[in-house]
Amino acid sequence: MMMVALLAAIAGAGCGSGDGAGTPPAKRRVDSNGGTYSVTVESTPNPIPMNEPFDLRFTVAAKSGSLQGVAVQVDARMPAHGHGMNRVPKLTTQADGTTRAEGMLFHMPGHWELYVDITQGGKTERAQFDVDLK
> Model-level pTM?
0.79
Averaged pLDDT for residues 28-32: 96
Is 59:40 a contact under the CB 8 Å cutoff? yes
Q: Which domains does the chain have, with CATH numbers?
A: 4-133 (2.60.40.3340)
Averaged pLDDT for residues 36-53: 94
Confidence of residue 3 (pLDDT cuts 50, 70, 90): very low
The pLDDT of residue 35: 97
What percent of the chain stands above pLDDT 90?
75
pLDDT at 128 over 90: yes
Is 91:101 a contact under the CB 8 Å cutoff? yes
Handedness of CA 122, 77, 13, 34 (dihedral sign): negative
